[in-house]
Structures are given as C-alpha cells and as structure tokens.
Amino acid sequence: MRSKKPYKKLACLLLGIIYVFIFSSASLLISPVKFQVVVVPGGTYNGLIKVKNVFNQRLAIKVTFSSLFLDPMGNPVDNSNDDSVFSNNVTSDPVIFSLGPQEDRIYRFQFRMPPGMDEEVSGKIVFSPFPEEGEPAFEGIFKPGPVLIPFFASPPDVTEKNAEISGFYVKQYDQQDSVACTLVFRNKGLLHIRPQGILRLFDEDKNQLFSCPLNPGRAPILKSSFGIVKKTLGTGLQAGNFVVRAEIEGTGDMDMGIEKSLYIFPKKRIKNFQVKVVYPSGQKDSRKVTSPISMQAASSLKAIEMERRKKGTVISLIADGRLSFDPFELDDPYRLVLDIKGVLNDLPSKTLELYTSEVLKIRTSQFKISPEKITRVVVDFMREQKYDLVSLSDRLVVYVGIPAPATPEAEEKRESLPSVPYLEFNADLVGSVKIGEGSRGIFKVISLSGTILYQVPIQAEEGDGEMHLSGRWSRIPDPGIYFGELVLVQEERIPIVSYSIFKVE
C-alpha cells in the first residue's frame, strides 16, 4: 500500500505557500472595514479607525478622503467630476503618519453632514502605505497595497430603499452543463443597497434541482446607479426545459422575485461569444473620420440595422452601393413597401422582428429575378406613422416617428463603413448545426436599463462541425457597460440564447 505521507507533505507545502502569499502581501490591518451611520443635517459623526502595521518594515501611511464611485460590477473607479461632498466635510488626524512593524494606532476623523442634505453621502477612506524615509523600497510581487474603507452617512428621515431588476439574463454555460445567470439592479432610491438572495433552478415539472446564494459578498450599489450580479448554477444538466428563479431581498420594504425559462439543447450550444469596438486604422474618434461618397449602383442588399432613438426608430438598409427604389403604402395592416431595383437579397434572415413603439417587424423577399431583379422590403408598422426616407451612398435610411436630419450628408459621413469605429460580434455554434430557410437570428445591444438599442441580423458561415456567427453595427453606443444578446431560432423553433457583457470606453 502506497504511503500517504508524501501527499501530506505536499499539502503542507501548498498551505505554506498560500499563507506566505496572503500575509506577505498584506501590510495593514484595518478595523472597522466599513462605516454606515446616520447623521442629522448640520450634525457631526466622530469616527475611530484602528490601524496596525503587519509588514516587516516601518511604513509611512497616507490617508485620503474622497467620494466613492463604483462601476456596475462593484469595482471602485476614479472620477474626474468628483463633487467632493465627503472630502470637503471631513477633518482628521494628520493625513501622513508612520508605524513600525506590529505597531498600531487609533486614527480619528470627523464628518459633518452638510445642512439641508436630503440624501445619502458616500465616500471612501484610503490608507496607502509606502516606505518611510531611510527604509528599503518595496520589491517583488508581494508589495503592500492600499486599503479602502467605504463610508455611508444618511439623514435620519431618509430610510426608504427603492430598486428594481432591469435585466435578467440566463444561458447555457460555455464550459460545462450548467446555467450562467446575470441580474442587473437599478437603484432608484437615495440610499445604497446590498441586494442578496437565492437562485433556484427547476426542471419542467417544477422540481427544484439546485440552489445557491446570490451576491453573498453583498457588493453595494450606490444611489441612482446600476449594479450587476453574476452567478453560475447547477452541474451535469441534461437536455430539456428549465426555469431559473431569483429571490431577492435587501432592496427595499418589498422583496423581489423574477424567473426566466431556458432550454438546454443536446450537444448544441453557443460558445466564444464576444462583442468589441473595432477602430479601423487605429482611429479612436469617429467624428474625425470621413469616407468618400460612392455613386455606384448597388447589386445586393447586405444587411438591415435598427436603432431605437428617443422618439422613434431608424432603419438602415445596407447595400454595396446606392439603392434605387420605389416606395408605396398598403393598409390593413398599415405598412411601407420598398421595391429595390437591380438588387439581389443576400440577407441570411428574411424577417427582423423589432417590436419598437413604431415598428412591428421588417420582411424581405426576392420579389423578382427577371427581367429585372427586385428585392422587396416590407416595414410593418404598429400603427399609421410618419416617416422620412433618405438615400445615402451605401444605404437607404428610414426615419420612423422622427424627422430625417436637416443635413443628410453629415449623417452619411458618420454612417459609412469601414472608415469609422463599429461594433463587431463573433460566436461559434457547436454541435448539431443546421441553418435552413426557417432559421433566423438576431444580435441585440441592450442597455443596463433594459432598453434594446440596436438589432442586427446574424451572418452565419458553416465550418467543420460548427457554425461561425458574426455581424457588425455601424454605430457605437455612449461609453458604458452593455449586454450583447444572441437569439438564434432554427427549424425546431426553440431559440438558442446567449449573452455577453462588454464595455465601451
């Protein structure tokens, strides 16, 4: 029988390495780890912080007070527009002091709530260690780092929390037979929230299969902000219908719940789904880039893009040159028909479902082949609508519910591809794949508030045992975090859904 002592020695060695990694990189022990206090407007709060140097040399420590900003993932970020409500109302002990090895001290500060303040003030206190004069510089990978303490102060009469779930995304996890879930919370109140709860997975007979805690670290979501919480649920799931339910507390007087259905396909899934902003020729400012205007007649219709604007919908029919068309209207239901001359319909999907306030869907067909090729595009309106048509060098733009711009030439320069930055997505569909006539696919760009900003048809290219999915959109949204969602419906009519989170700088 083989001795187990070598394995015990190896385990002890690994534990020792982990111990060294954790404690040699730590330099300060701070208590408490956060402040959450109630202060009357015009009143003060006196705070005490115990700081201990656990590093192996004498440290100088700098203390800074500033407003707290978190991105939707809960990570602290710097903000050049810091209003300094917190830092401007703090007095403290000297902001630089020193501690010897294993030495500690009590650090004192006082916060004054501004008079008339009717919402929570959030801030951060950061202790940053650096070598004291005459001490050796930090070297190696285990360098002491700053310690951040969040600070929240609210008036006594500000107690109500107000939040909503603005997004709930589920997909079959790429790497194993489990479910990936992402929730988006919108904090609409005047206090920060720390949503937590339970995720549950049920089969189609409503039997609970798995459950797990949601957001156990309780990352805060600041007032008037969005927060994203991610979790993976289940393992070894077989093909079939499932329901994911999220039960949330910590967001107000009333708890929240939401659920979503998901079908896991046998030996079929979307993987490697990524969305990125592409900057041609290294350019990073689309307003400084223009492209020549082509007068060449189009021979094929390549794509349809949709953009939801504040008071209407913009539809772009993209081709390989200028489009020649005859428009007319039909009733019952009210719709716009565009017969595009001399053009082949090269769209992979013949129907694009929009469901905006103005447009139900767009249908395309190869209306004629001879004696002249005609592609017919039908825009099904929700109701009778005002619209404008603008012909540009490589596209026909339909402005529904909003007027066309006064200078279409400027719009043309901004829309031209590929000389301006654009969104691009790529994914692989693996398993038993078949894209037939009844198949259709849509790529959506969705804001954190849940608004669908863009919808673009999916281009599909068959490969060895898989299919590559791709597409692009000729605009990029404002800086922020967004969701890209792929919805692919094949002949079985059950959608394959995946999503990806991406950031626009």
> pLDDT by residue for the chain (505 residues), tens digit each?
344 444 444 544 444 434 333 433 468 999 999 999 999 999 999 999 999 999 888 999 999 999 898 989 888 887 655 567 899 999 999 999 999 999 999 999 999 999 999 999 999 999 999 888 877 777 666 678 899 999 999 999 998 888 899 999 999 886 667 899 999 999 999 999 988 899 999 999 999 999 999 877 777 899 989 999 999 998 888 888 999 999 998 666 667 889 999 988 877 788 889 998 887 654 444 333 233 344 578 888 888 888 878 788 889 898 888 888 999 999 888 999 999 999 998 876 677 777 778 888 899 999 998 889 999 999 999 888 888 888 888 889 999 988 887 665 545 444 444 446 778 899 988 876 555 545 567 888 999 999 888 888 787 777 777 788 888 777 778 888 999 999 887 655 678 889 999 998 8
pLDDT of residue 182: 94
List CB contacts of 360: < 8 A, sequence separation 6 or more: 333, 353, 354, 380, 381, 382
pLDDT of residue 432: 60
pLDDT of residue 21: 38
**Listing from the earlier edge strand, what are the strands of the sheet with 268-278?**
268-278, 422-431, 466-473, 459-462
List CB contacts of 123: < 8 A, sequence separation 6 or more: 65, 66, 67, 68, 85, 86, 87, 90, 150, 151
CA dihedral 200, 172, 500, 257 (to 10 degrees): -20
Domain ranges of the chain: 27-154, 163-264
Reference 309, options 409, 425, 447, 423; nearest CA is 447
pLDDT of residue 47: 97
Termini Cα distance of the chain: 60
CATH fold of 27-154, please?
A: Immunoglobulin-like (2.60.40)
pLDDT of residue 285: 41
CA dist 167 and 97 (Å) reads: 46
Residue 65: CB atoms within 10 Å? 20
Find out whether 493 and 463 touch, Cβ atoms under 8 Å. no
Exposure string of 241-278, with b = 16+ CB inside 10 Å and e = fewer, is: ebbbbbbbebbbeeebeeeeebebbeebbbeebebebe
CATH fold of 163-264, please?
A: Immunoglobulin-like (2.60.40)
**Hey, which residues does 229 pair with through a beta bridge?**
183
Q: What is the pTM of this model?
A: 0.73
**Hey, which residues does 12 pair with through a beta bridge?**
none
pLDDT of residue 283: 46
CATH topology agreement for domains 27-154 and 163-264 = yes
**Listing from the earlier edge strand, what are the strands of the sheet with 374-381?**
324-330, 335-341, 374-381, 359-368, 351-353
Ramachandran sector of residue 438 (left: φ over 0; alpha: ψ -120 to 50; beta: rest): alpha
Q: What is the largest CA-CA distance in the chain?
A: 91
Find out whether 58 and 132 touch, Cβ atoms under 8 Å. yes
**Hey, which residues does 315 pair with through a beta bridge?**
306, 398
